[in-house]
Amino acid sequence: MNELELKYGCNPNQKPSRIFMLAGELPVTVLNGRPGYINFMDALNGWQLVKELKAATGLPAAASFKHVSPAGAAVGVEMNDTLKKICFVDDLKLSPLATAYARARGADRMSSYGDFIALSDVCDDETARMINREVSDGVIAPTYSAKALEILKNKRNGSYNVIQIDKAYQPQPLEHKDVFGVTFEQGRNEIKLDESLFGNIPTHNKNFPAEAKRDLLIALIILKYTHSNSVCYAKDGQAIGIGAGQQSRIHCTRLAGSKADNWYMRQHPKVLNLPFINGIRRADRDNTIDVYMSDESLDVLADGAWQQFFAHKPEALTRDEKREWLNMLKGVSLGSDAFFPFGDNIERAHRSGVQYIAQAGGSVRDDHVIDTCNKYGITMAFTDVRLFHH
């Protein structure tokens, strides 16, 4: 089959809509459901990302995509009990692939609500069981175990989107895109990202432990498939904050940094022990945690709204408590899809525990950026590689 008709395009008024091949067969098979235009955009970008993560690290990889940018992505590095709890998987048996998706979903659970999932390996039973209890639009993987496929086919009253992709498929070296009736052509971004990118270190601190190199590599691969401008904070084999599609680099850094802060704040004892009422929905729990950690929390706790979610009124988190906790976040890696123009990005990154940075370099203010890194003892590599994605 070289063509698949879709319900509509990005919006219901955009008809007709289809995916097709000019030559050869489509590399995807719909095993269940009826994926739409945006579903396939997320699925195909997500598949490229997890395939590359797996090739670079040798570990199973998963991504959580929303509107053609990852909300989270990770490889299957084992989680401690606290991480399992904040990802709401402490009651599940986790395979390495399920661990990767738990981490990917747990990076930014609010943004991952209704995501499209990409998996680098055979979707096993454990991963399918986890997917089954989360709100998502569909999944793409090279294949599925018989039990996993049964579980997923029954999700969402039988309408859940399940796509299988030919893992051997290689696209043509040239890609095309139409904008306003004009066709654009470019060579595919086939640049290989590996640890050789971290050899040019202009900072005083030149210490790059193996874990930092792995996390920087993960961050850069994620950025390769993230709408630009983009910045990614990574730690322990996963993204912990992604800032995508911003016109200003500092806004990327701030947005991703705030998400990284939220990821770490969810591990605070007060957050871990919030007294939720029985039967609260997972999405309501995620939203409530986000509000509790925000500056709005004191107002919410004061006006009685807490009674909708908590068995008793929880103790508020003060700003001093938040800052004290965030000061303990260390060892974070930061990747940028292009150069940092000013040292303000480094100042903001430092506040979220960043100790290792990989960025293209080439700004007229590189000296200021280097000086700011030296001020905090940050190790930074100039990769000389730009990763814009549009």
Look at residue 148 and tell me if it is in a domain.
Answer: yes
**Residue 308: its pLDDT value, please?**
82
Tokens standing for residue 306: 């807490």
Look at residue 388 and tell me if it is in a domain.
Answer: no
**Residue 301: its pLDDT value, please?**
64
**Residue 313: its pLDDT value, please?**
85
Expressed as residue numbers, the domain containing 282 is 269-316
CATH of the domain at 258: 3.40.140.20
Q: Binning pLDDT at 50, 70 and 90, where does residue 302 land?
A: low
**Residue 294: its pLDDT value, please?**
84
Percent of the chain with pLDDT over 70: 97
Same domain as 241, residue 99: no
Percent of the chain with pLDDT over 90: 89
Catalytic residues: 66-67, 229, 390
Strand partners, 373: none
Contacts of 334 (CB under 8 A, 6+ apart): 216, 219, 231, 232, 233, 234, 349, 354, 356, 357, 358
Q: What is the mean pLDDT of residues 226-249?
A: 97
What pTM does this model have? Answer: 0.96
Q: What is the pLDDT of residues 87-103, one digit of tens each?
A: 999 999 999 999 999 99
> In terms of pLDDT, which residue wins out, 288 or 193?
193
Q: What is the pLDDT of residues 250-278, one digit of tens each?
A: 999 999 999 999 999 999 999 999 999 98
> In terms of pLDDT, which residue wins out, 231 or 293?
231
Give the Cα separation of 54 and 236 in Å (integer).
Answer: 15
pLDDT higher than threshold 70 for residue 218 = yes
Q: Binning pLDDT at 50, 70 and 90, where does residue 184 land?
A: very high
pLDDT higher than threshold 70 for residue 287 = yes
Q: Binning pLDDT at 50, 70 and 90, where does residue 175 land?
A: very high
pLDDT higher than threshold 70 for residue 243 = yes
Q: What is the pLDDT of residues 119-159, one digit of tens each?
A: 999 999 999 999 999 999 999 999 999 999 999 999 999 99
Same domain as 332, residue 279: no
Number of domains composing the chain: 3
Same domain as 125, residue 185: no
Same domain as 255, residue 117: no
Q: What is the mean pLDDT of residues 220-225?
A: 98
Same domain as 23, residue 118: yes
**Residue 291: its pLDDT value, please?**
86
Look at residue 13 and tell me if it is in a domain.
Answer: yes
Same domain as 141, residue 59: yes
Same domain as 232, residue 359: yes
Q: What angle do CA 243, 246, 252 make, to 5 degrees?
A: 40
**Residue 296: its pLDDT value, please?**
66
pLDDT higher than threshold 70 for residue 110 = yes
**Residue 73: its pLDDT value, please?**
98
Give the Cα separation of 201 and 311 in Å (integer).
Answer: 52
Same domain as 243, residue 332: yes
Look at residue 17 and tell me if it is in a domain.
Answer: yes
Look at residue 389 and tell me if it is in a domain.
Answer: no
Look at residue 321 and tell me if it is in a domain.
Answer: no
Same domain as 339, residue 236: yes
- End-to-end CA separation in angstroms for the chain: 28
Same domain as 245, residue 132: no
DSSP 236: T
pLDDT higher than threshold 70 for residue 248 = yes
Same domain as 295, residue 353: no
Mean pLDDT of the chain: 95
Q: Binning pLDDT at 50, 70 and 90, where does residue 298 land?
A: low
**Residue 310: its pLDDT value, please?**
87
Among residues 170, 202, 233, the one where a domain terminates is: 170
Same domain as 233, residue 203: yes
Contact between 389 and 226 under an 8 Å Cβ cutoff? The reply is yes
Among residues 170, 198, 225, the one where a domain terminates is: 170
